[in-house]
Amino acid sequence: MKGYRYLLSFFIIMLLLSLTGCRDHTVQSIALGLDLPVGQGALSLMQTPIVPAEQEGRLLEIEGQLQTPVYEVEYPEDFSTPSTAVALRLEYRSSLDLELHASYDTGESLRRTLPSGNGSSVSAVVPLAAALLQEFQFKASGTREKSPAGDLFQIEALALQELRSTDEDVPGVTISFSPPSGQSPLYQHRYRLDYSYRREVLPAGSLEEPGEPAEQSPQEVVPLLVGTLEDSASFRLFAKEGDHSIYFYSRDLEFAPTEFTVQTNLPGFQLQQVSRQRVWRGAADTPPPIPADMGTILRYRQQAWRRSDWELFSWNLFPSILVFDFRDYHIQAAFLKRLAFFVEKKGSAGTLLSNRELEPLHGWNAHDYRAADLAAFFQTAREQGFSLNPEEQLLKRILLEQGVIHEVDGEFLPGTGGFISLSQQSSSRLRYIFATHEGYHGLYFASSRYRQAVHGVWTALSEDERQFWKLFLDWKHYNTEDVYLLENEFQAYLMQQHRSYVDTYFKEYIIPRFLSFYPEYQGQADYFLAHYGEHFSRSARLIEEAAQSLVGISAGDLVCIRESEPTLTKN
């Protein structure tokens, strides 16, 4: 009965904290209790600094940062070092972004960002090393001179639990949550899985050709199984290099999972935590964006939308990029058609067209806009006293709330990021292509290093090559006088399909279709293909190398998780 695995099935470290008020983040009392077999002794907590009972568990303001005392876990003498994977399970309420700092008796440490619940309850399971947890502390992310009223911090439960192994041959863990209490159509549960992935450097003499980017191999696909006793769904996680989060939603899944099985032997892959949060899904004019992978956005059931006309997401890889999914082209046009002609269309860029002028014109079936152009649009409308549609006024409020644009002294200024949009009226095939094309615009908006890489490829082209793109984009009704727009569309059209299809797309579809409208360009097309036959594949390869090295994504594929047939078995 002295083994650690045996003890884990019995003991729970529990912190019960009650707030006296949100003004000073004071916790009235802190109590420790556990259920151990008789004779096994008891665990205890020591805090540093020692504070009066009325301040125990309080988030103290130290050097401008809110943080708890450091809690040290004291074990009885006969307590064994764990020989299996364990996790720290937290249940808390907080409107603060938090960090958990913990250390082990081996000298190792961990640091995990905990999701803010905006005051709602959050459960988080943080995998730990096979060592004794020595001490832990909670900190509010960032610094502030004075804590804003309404900030809450309350730990409801803290426990150590054993992580079950999923297979003797393939390393992995199953993380369990208690069944959610209460069901309401106004709420759903959001599940966030945080992981880190560091791809191992290929050894010298590998089969990769010099200069060729590494393809996503089957070994980099991590099987996931989410489920309950009655329902389950299987997914494939395409691991991206770096630290990332993926999300699942109970309304989209049509059940609330109580278990997550992550099974992989991928070197460099580490599961950091899985958390569950109850989130409101009532309709609102300016709802907070739903964090999601591009695959989840494409799959997300329209019946799970918070509104009937559109839903708002934020891209998990680049949270500053919002994603609108509209019910149909008509609603999308009411929001974005005038914006398209102001920002991108040839002959009208910089001009606000009236609804009568817009009526016979076609905008886009999918859209993308950066913060600077959005600020310019709304600022021009203000300066000209131009009357915008109610949908455009609503868009402005959303962008202000999300920090994409700012209003300073009566002037609209760019914030960070931008947004892209899709429509449910597009076919599934087109939605995937549009999501990829517009997603690469989002990457272009969000990453200055990626823009610099694309600019380097563009400026290295010959004048003949750049002239081809000006001709092509002019045919597509873009404002080719805008160099930023030229380079942005150049990379997006190359990256919207897998690199192996880029020659086929341009040589067998785009150029023949263009010549069917303008046969007088046949000679120029023949010359271009004869002298620059490798242009498309070479340019796509160079840009894809930049995308993979910077953010781990490939041409034609921005999806992190895909649903698949169940391949894992639950314990």
For residue range 402-445, list pLDDT tens digits in order: 999 999 999 999 999 999 999 999 999 999 999 999 999 999 99
User: Number of structural domains, the chain?
Assistant: 3
According to the model, what pLDDT value does residue 226 have?
94
For residue range 341-373, list pLDDT tens digits in order: 999 999 999 999 999 999 999 999 999 999 999
For residue range 131-149, list pLDDT tens digits in order: 778 888 888 875 444 444 2
Contact assessment for residue 27 and residue 17, using Cβ atoms and an 8 Å cutoff: yes
* Residues 460 and 360 grouped into a single domain: no
269, part of any domain = no
Lowest average pLDDT, out of 1-5, 406-410, 507-511, 551-555, goes to 1-5
For residue range 179-192, list pLDDT tens digits in order: 887 778 889 999 99
253, part of any domain = no
CATH number for the domain spanning 128: value is: 2.60.120
DSSP state letter for 189:
E
Q: Read off the tokens for 347.
A: 């002959």
Element (H, E) at 27: strand 26-33
184, part of any domain = no
246, part of any domain = no
Q: State the pLDDT confidence band at 20, using cuts at 50, 70 and 90.
A: very low
* Residues 132 and 106 grouped into a single domain: yes
d(CA 156, CA 219): 39
102, part of any domain = yes
* Residues 23 and 145 grouped into a single domain: yes
Region 475-497: mean pLDDT is: 96
Kindly report the backbone phi and psi dihedral angles of residue 294, in degrees, each rounded to the nearest multiple of 5, phi listed first. Answer: -60, -35
According to the model, what pLDDT value does residue 76 have?
73
- Residue 130 sits at the vertex; the CA angle it makes with 125 and 132, to the nearest 5 degrees, is 90
Beta strand pairing call for 172-176 and 109-114: unpaired
13, part of any domain = yes
343, part of any domain = yes
Q: Read off the tokens for 428.
A: 């599934």
257, part of any domain = no
* Residues 16 and 79 grouped into a single domain: yes
According to the model, what pLDDT value does residue 34 have?
31
Lowest average pLDDT, out of 415-429, 451-465, 477-491, 545-559, goes to 545-559
* Residues 356 and 484 grouped into a single domain: no
Last residue within a domain, chosen from 162, 194, 216: 162
Q: State the pLDDT confidence band at 541, using cuts at 50, 70 and 90.
A: very high
* Residues 89 and 21 grouped into a single domain: yes
Q: Give the residue ranges of DSSP H helices in 402-521.
A: 428-446, 448-459, 463-475, 483-495, 502-505, 511-517
* CB-count burial class (<10 Å; 0-12, 13-18, 19+) for 407: middle
* Residues 396 and 498 grouped into a single domain: no
According to the model, what pLDDT value does residue 168 have?
56
* Residues 472 and 397 grouped into a single domain: no
Q: Read off the tokens for 186.
A: 């106004």
Last residue within a domain, chosen from 415, 437, 459: 437
* Residues 380 and 492 grouped into a single domain: no
pTM: 0.85
* Residues 80 and 157 grouped into a single domain: yes
Q: State the pLDDT confidence band at 288, using cuts at 50, 70 and 90.
A: very high
Q: Higher confidence at residue 150 or residue 527?
A: 527
Whether the predicted pLDDT of 152 surpasses 70: no
According to the model, what pLDDT value does residue 84 have?
67
According to the model, what pLDDT value does residue 292 have?
96
* Residues 35 and 157 grouped into a single domain: yes
According to the model, what pLDDT value does residue 267 have?
87
User: Domain of 64?
Assistant: 1-162
User: Considering the chain, what is the average pLDDT of its residues?
Assistant: 83
Last residue within a domain, chosen from 410, 437, 464: 437
Contact assessment for residue 141 and residue 115, using Cβ atoms and an 8 Å cutoff: no
C-alpha atoms less than 13 angstroms from C-alpha of 190 in its C-beta half-sphere: 25
Phi-psi region of 350 (alpha: psi -120 to 50; beta: other; left: phi over 0): left
* Residues 108 and 136 grouped into a single domain: yes
